Chain A
Amino acid sequence: MIRFVLRRLALMVPVLLGLSILLFIWVRSLPGEGPARSLLGTRATPERIEAINEQYGFNDPLLEQYLRYVGSLLRGDFLSSIRDGKPVLDTFFDKLPVTVELSLAALLFAIVVGIPLGYVAARYQGRAPDTAVVSGSLLGVATPVFFLALLLKLVFANWLGWLPATFRQTPGIDATQVTGFAVLDGLLTREYDAAWDAVLHLLLPAIALGTIPLAIIVRITRASVAEVLQEDYVRTAESKGLRRRTVARRHVLRNAMLPVSTTIGLQVGLLFSGAVLTETVFSFQGIGSYLFQAISQRDYPVLQGYIIFIAIMYSLINLVVDLLYGVIDPRVRVST
């Protein structure tokens, strides 16, 4: 198992190297005039722009710039934002809890709603509940995140006024920071009103962000359950006279979860990209909204650093999912 983990970690090196090259080229090919123009505004003189470009070395050959960048990464220097001068590493980890909390909430929503819906659809295959679930998931997967986010905000916050429209917590609420996870902090410090406030603020963004993963989980669960229901061991379980609940949980879902768990790992990438839009719409000060600003301002160091961090997290999460797979399926347990 340790060998398996090490091998997977080693495989990340070429992936990250390739990613860093692509990223480097990509951020520099963004349309517009580069970071100096964004920084100084439309009325800046060519001389001042030239000075900035010279200062950051943007006039050097690309290869030289790239090697310099990799060199600083290897020294552990992730550079600082061109825009606000803050170190990329610091802001990333400051903002991480916001995005992780939102993503976890979205994933929780997707799993808790998606698996039962997928199960019901498979059980009633071809009948009304199935049709409803399948068309709903098609709609869900086809709705752009930013559109759904704006729609939810408009209906539930602005029109109905049931839920807050922006921010992680009501501004001015005196919440103690411990971990940076608002809900968790509220629970840890026994400031339950703050925790509840954070939960209310999370609801709409989590639903907006979780809808596409939800739709995908529903689809995979439905297909997987439908397949498992045909298996001989489900018939064996039924021949034992087991209660429906036991058959569903222990025999059907446990097996049907195998492909679903892999999908859930892959959703993490979707969550990060969705967070960029969701956080922007709901004014969450997380990685997503910061990345959004970095894109619009051509903040090269932030873009490069953040996306590499996200890629590392994504790989690690999928490694963990693969290891967890062995917990559900004894047949693929990696030998130690």
Chain B
Amino acid sequence: MSPPSHQHGADVLTDGRADRTPVQGDQPLLSVQDLSVEFGLRGQKRVRAVDSVSFDIRPGEHVGLVGESGSGKSVTSLAIMGLLPRRGAHVSGRITYEGRDLLTASRAEMSQLRGNDIAMVFQDPMTSLNPVVPIGTQLAEVVTRHRRLSKSEARDRAGDLLARVGIPDPRRRLKEYPHQLSGGMRQRVLIAIALACEPRLLIADEPTTALDVTIQAQVLEVLKELVAETEAALLMITHDLGVVAGLCDRVNVMYSGRIVESTTRSVLFGEPRHPYTGGLLRSIPRLDAPRGEPLVAIPGSPTNTLPWTQGCAFAPRCAHVQDDCRTDPPALLEHGPRMLRCHHPLDGSDGPTPGGGSAGARPTAAGVADESAYRRPTEEDA
């Protein structure tokens, strides 16, 4: 499989952008404030999946939302899209997109925004496409919904989009059904669908976890290129800091529904301060590690948590745990260039570099050099 070439359909995603009003620099495109999501039908005990989460995404900015399964990242993204189940999900807080409150927006307003302004790529390409509808139709329908295009124009555009995401022989593929495509191809189709209307914000929910490692790199590359081309802002949801390293400007690390560390990529990789972030970084296998060295893991499982009301949720798994961690819930406070929720942050001696005790002590700027070590190999590197 060849990487998508820029020749065909390179202009596909850039036309029609001129009519959009440019947004001023620091005004956030999307602002999530104090978002909490609880699940539970009437009469049942509610479970809090997302707990007072706040973050901003500025136009064109790439933000990572990182955490293990169950940390609330996907629920956060579904809350932004307004796709949480209507029954049993209780959402509070504020989500504003260009100043508009999404949580109070009507059904019609949300469906105008979805696919057009905010689009999403889902985790599992095997189940995210309709098995009984040709992919051309699944692509064209989002275009005809949000653009004034005739059927044949929409079809042409669908073909161009397929070409753009690197699917060979796109005209023929339009008539094919999802089961005739490989997983990587299907995820390309889903990326094409999400970017078909050049959204201002793309939410990618672990877009590569269901794919082969080799295909992951290719798909990520396609995503990266198209996001750059359309100047869309990106909310990248992943448990893989390697993905973040190559893609994101800012990173929010979530644990058990709350943000525990939030900072720029270079600060995070250069000097992780939350023990959980440090653990995630250490658990990435490194190419320069000596052969035969066992992989590092965070002990315990994400289900082994303390309720945030009683202390730090990460305490049961934390190597730095002290008594106050189990009695005193830490607040998200500013620590220099970052927001941190920890009583006893890493001081650098537990830096992420195996054997490199001095890593954390280096000035943050030096961290930029560090993070490249975590990046996934991409085709650019090859």
- Give the interface of A toward B (CB within 8 A): 231-233, 235-244, 246, 250-251, 254-255, 258, 328-331
A324 nearest CB across to chain B (Å):
13
Given A241-B142, A250-B141, A255-B114 contact (CB < 8 Å) = no
* Of the residues A232, A235, A241, contact of B146 by C-beta under 8 Å: A241
B190 at the binding interface (Cβ < 8 Å): yes
The reply to whether B111 and A331 contact each other, CB–CB distance below 8 Å, is no
A102 nearest CB across to chain B (Å):
32
Given A329-B132, A331-B179, A235-B111 contact (CB < 8 Å) = no
The reply to whether A255 and B115 contact each other, CB–CB distance below 8 Å, is no
The reply to whether B127 and A232 contact each other, CB–CB distance below 8 Å, is yes
* Of the residues B111, B122, B145, contact of A236 by C-beta under 8 Å: B122
Residue of B nearest to A252 (CB): B130
Report B-chain residues with C-beta under 8 Å of the C-beta of A238: 83, 114
The reply to whether A231 and B114 contact each other, CB–CB distance below 8 Å, is no
Report B-chain residues with C-beta under 8 Å of the C-beta of A237: 130
B113 at the binding interface (Cβ < 8 Å): yes
The reply to whether B130 and A255 contact each other, CB–CB distance below 8 Å, is yes
The reply to whether B128 and A233 contact each other, CB–CB distance below 8 Å, is yes
Size of interface on B: residues with Cβ below 8 Å to A: 30
Report A-chain residues with C-beta under 8 Å of the C-beta of B145: 240-243, 246
Report A-chain residues with C-beta under 8 Å of the C-beta of B120: 239
A236 nearest CB across to chain B (Å):
5
The reply to whether A251 and B130 contact each other, CB–CB distance below 8 Å, is yes
B129 at the binding interface (Cβ < 8 Å): yes
The reply to whether A236 and B190 contact each other, CB–CB distance below 8 Å, is yes
The reply to whether A254 and B132 contact each other, CB–CB distance below 8 Å, is yes
B56 at the binding interface (Cβ < 8 Å): no
* Of the residues B115, B122, B127, B179, contact of A241 by C-beta under 8 Å: B115
The reply to whether B179 and A246 contact each other, CB–CB distance below 8 Å, is no
The reply to whether A239 and B114 contact each other, CB–CB distance below 8 Å, is yes
* Of the residues A232, A233, A241, A331, contact of B114 by C-beta under 8 Å: A241
User: Complex formed: what's the CA distance from A289 to B370 in Å?
Assistant: 87
Most chain A CB inside 10 Å of its own CB: which residue of B111, B127, B194: B111
Report A-chain residues with C-beta under 8 Å of the C-beta of B193: 236, 240
What's the count of A-B pairs with C-beta under 8 Å? 81
Q: A239-B81, A241-B142, A242-B145 are in contact. List 18 more A-B contacts (CB 8 A).
A: A233-B131, A235-B128, A236-B129, A238-B114, A239-B119, A239-B120, A239-B122, A240-B142, A241-B111, A241-B116, A250-B133, A250-B137, A251-B133, A254-B130, A254-B133, A330-B131, A331-B131, A331-B132
Question: Could you give 23 example pairs across A and B, Cβ below 8 Å?
Answer: A232-B124, A233-B128, A236-B122, A236-B128, A236-B129, A236-B130, A237-B130, A239-B81, A239-B83, A240-B115, A240-B119, A240-B145, A241-B112, A241-B113, A242-B115, A242-B141, A244-B111, A250-B130, A250-B141, A254-B132, A255-B131, A329-B132, A330-B132
The reply to whether A232 and B141 contact each other, CB–CB distance below 8 Å, is no
B177 at the binding interface (Cβ < 8 Å): yes
Report A-chain residues with C-beta under 8 Å of the C-beta of B111: 241-244
* Of the residues A246, A250, A258, A331, contact of B177 by C-beta under 8 Å: A331
Most chain A CB inside 10 Å of its own CB: which residue of B116, B141, B179: B141
* Of the residues B124, B132, B141, contact of A240 by C-beta under 8 Å: B141
* Of the residues B110, B131, B146, B194, contact of A329 by C-beta under 8 Å: B131
Residue of B nearest to A237 (CB): B130
User: Complex formed: what's the CA distance from A242 to B142 in Å?
Assistant: 7
Report A-chain residues with C-beta under 8 Å of the C-beta of B119: 239-240
Most chain B CB inside 10 Å of its own CB: which residue of A232, A239, A331: A239
Report A-chain residues with C-beta under 8 Å of the C-beta of B142: 240-242
Residue of B nearest to A238 (CB): B83
Q: Nearest 8 A-B pairs (CB), nearest first?
A: A241-B114, A241-B115, A240-B115, A232-B127, A240-B142, A233-B130, A241-B111, A330-B177
Report B-chain residues with C-beta under 8 Å of the C-beta of A243: 111, 145
Chain B 249-272 per-residue mask, 1 if CB under 8 angstroms from chain A, else 0: 000000000000000000000000
Report A-chain residues with C-beta under 8 Å of the C-beta of B110: 241
Chain B 117-160 per-residue mask, 1 if CB under 8 angstroms from chain A, else 0: 00110101001111111000100011001100000000000000
User: Complex formed: what's the CA distance from A297 to B110 in Å?
Assistant: 68
A54 nearest CB across to chain B (Å):
62
B42 nearest CB across to chain A (Å):
11
B146 nearest CB across to chain A (Å):
7
User: Complex formed: what's the CA distance from A241 to B82 in Å?
Assistant: 10
User: Complex formed: what's the CA distance from A251 to B142 in Å?
Assistant: 13
The reply to whether B132 and A255 contact each other, CB–CB distance below 8 Å, is yes
Residue of A nearest to B137 (CB): A250
The reply to whether A330 and B179 contact each other, CB–CB distance below 8 Å, is yes
The reply to whether B179 and A233 contact each other, CB–CB distance below 8 Å, is no
Residue of B nearest to A230 (CB): B85
Report B-chain residues with C-beta under 8 Å of the C-beta of A328: 132
A265 nearest CB across to chain B (Å):
18
Residue of B nearest to A255 (CB): B132
Report A-chain residues with C-beta under 8 Å of the C-beta of B112: 241
Report B-chain residues with C-beta under 8 Å of the C-beta of A258: 132
Most chain B CB inside 10 Å of its own CB: which residue of A241, A246, A250, A255: A241
Residue of B nearest to A330 (CB): B177
Most chain A CB inside 10 Å of its own CB: which residue of B110, B113, B115, B137: B115
A178 nearest CB across to chain B (Å):
39
Report B-chain residues with C-beta under 8 Å of the C-beta of A329: 131-132
Report B-chain residues with C-beta under 8 Å of the C-beta of A251: 130, 133
User: Complex formed: what's the CA distance from A329 to B178 in Å?
Assistant: 12
* Of the residues A235, A250, A255, contact of B122 by C-beta under 8 Å: A235
Chain B 59-89 per-residue mask, 1 if CB under 8 angstroms from chain A, else 0: 0000000000000000000000101000000
Report B-chain residues with C-beta under 8 Å of the C-beta of A255: 130-132
User: Complex formed: what's the CA distance from A331 to B179 in Å?
Assistant: 7
Report A-chain residues with C-beta under 8 Å of the C-beta of B130: 233, 236-237, 250-251, 254-255
B4 nearest CB across to chain A (Å):
22
